[in-house]
Chains A and B, each alone.
Chain A
């Protein structure tokens, strides 16, 4: 049986153009020489006839798997660390996003202060809630009429709610985000002041964790200091859970960035 010369004479290590338009033409020619009857060649069957391409041929390189290895390691580190949706350690959250996030930018971690740091305002709230019960024993409002007393107590509970709500907002919205490209620290200091700092992972020079005191050792939380070559020299993340793990994750992500930089694949 006569065989088409153009395909059969190709050596395994020859450069093969896999552009579909060229291949369709050549394959049609190939089929014409093989059979006497016309065989319709649809584009859907062509890929199965084309030579199988390795990842290297698709613009990747053997080192592509190296940075995937870093990412895989990060996924393993953060796996099963999120206990519930209001956790201080949110690993790869599905719903979470932030202002300025790129469309294809994956969020790896969202961190808030450790729950132990919230105890002071939780106790304050409880104390404020039960406070009016002691008015029987300490008659502070007895000189006022019943109408005034009612308004004062209502005001007291509203104030209790406001203080609790403010503390919760401060905890909930002060977040530190690690994405596949950068780290972002969003801080709301009070009702009106906020700070937004970010640094590319490639710009991170050094990452240090700091733990001290009984509570931080027992509950495993502490500070992480990120030194950068960016405009903001140091990003400090206060009282986050698993600080050592965060350092490891940032090291892995820096490794991945370095790998991408070496290969000139940086976004």
Chain B
């Protein structure tokens, strides 16, 4: 029984890590998107949006590290 539970926990952990990895890719796409949009339309708030996109990427990396280390 404990063996099955251990396997289930491992599957859970792998699923969460895969989920956070997918999210990390999404965060990278957002950074790329904001940069490419900012090249086409230049407005005064572009820099704020670029900073937010990088902050979001940083948090996505943090989430992946947490998922690997904590779980």
Docked-complex contact A161 and B49, CB < 8 angstroms: no
Docked-complex contact B63 and A162, CB < 8 angstroms: no
20 contacts between A and B (CB under 8 A): A85-B44, A95-B44, A96-B42, A97-B42, A98-B41, A99-B41, A148-B71, A151-B16, A151-B63, A154-B63, A155-B20, A158-B63, A162-B30, A165-B56, A166-B30, A169-B33, A173-B41, A191-B30, A192-B29, A192-B33
Contact string against B for A residues 165-193, beta-carbon threshold 8 Å, 1 for contact and 0 otherwise: 11001001101000000000010100110
Question: Bound state CA distance, A150 and B27, in angstroms?
Answer: 20
Question: Bound state CA distance, A46 and B30, in angstroms?
Answer: 62
Question: Bound state CA distance, A196 and B37, in angstroms?
Answer: 12
The answer, yes or no, to whether A79 is at the interface (CB within 8 Å) is: no
Given A151-B66, A155-B20, A166-B30; A186-B41 close (CB under 8 Å): yes
Contacting residues, chain A, for B56 (C-beta < 8 A): 158, 161-162, 165
10 new A-B contacts at CB < 8 Å, known A85-B44, A169-B49: A98-B40, A99-B40, A150-B70, A154-B63, A155-B23, A159-B23, A165-B53, A169-B33, A172-B49, A191-B29
**Complex: chain A residue closest to B39, CB-CB:** A99
Minimum C-beta distance from B46 to chain A (A): 9
Contact string against A for B residues 17-50, beta-carbon threshold 8 Å, 1 for contact and 0 otherwise: 0011001001101100110010111111100010
Could you tell me how many residues of chain A have their Cβ less than 8 Å away from some Cβ of chain B?
Answer: 30
Docked-complex contact A169 and B66, CB < 8 angstroms: no
Contacting residues, chain B, for A158 (C-beta < 8 A): 23, 56, 59-60, 63
Could you tell me how many residues of chain B have their Cβ less than 8 Å away from some Cβ of chain A?
Answer: 30
Docked-complex contact B19 and A155, CB < 8 angstroms: yes
Number of residue pairs spanning A and B whose beta carbons lie under 8 angstroms apart: 79
**Complex: chain B residue closest to A98, CB-CB:** B41
**Complex: chain B residue closest to A144, CB-CB:** B12
Docked-complex contact B27 and A162, CB < 8 angstroms: yes
Docked-complex contact A169 and B34, CB < 8 angstroms: yes
Given A95-B44, A151-B71; A165-B37 close (CB under 8 Å): no
Docked-complex contact A191 and B33, CB < 8 angstroms: yes
Question: Bound state CA distance, A158 and B55, in angstroms?
Answer: 11
Contacting residues, chain B, for A192 (C-beta < 8 A): 29, 33
Contacting residues, chain B, for A86 (C-beta < 8 A): 45
The answer, yes or no, to whether A147 is at the interface (CB within 8 Å) is: yes
The answer, yes or no, to whether B52 is at the interface (CB within 8 Å) is: yes
Question: Bound state CA distance, A186 and B43, in angstroms?
Answer: 14
Contacting residues, chain A, for B66 (C-beta < 8 A): 150-151, 154
Q: Which of B34, B40, B44, B45 has the most CB of A within 10 A?
A: B40
Question: Bound state CA distance, A219 and B39, in angstroms?
Answer: 32
**Complex: chain A residue closest to B67, CB-CB:** A151
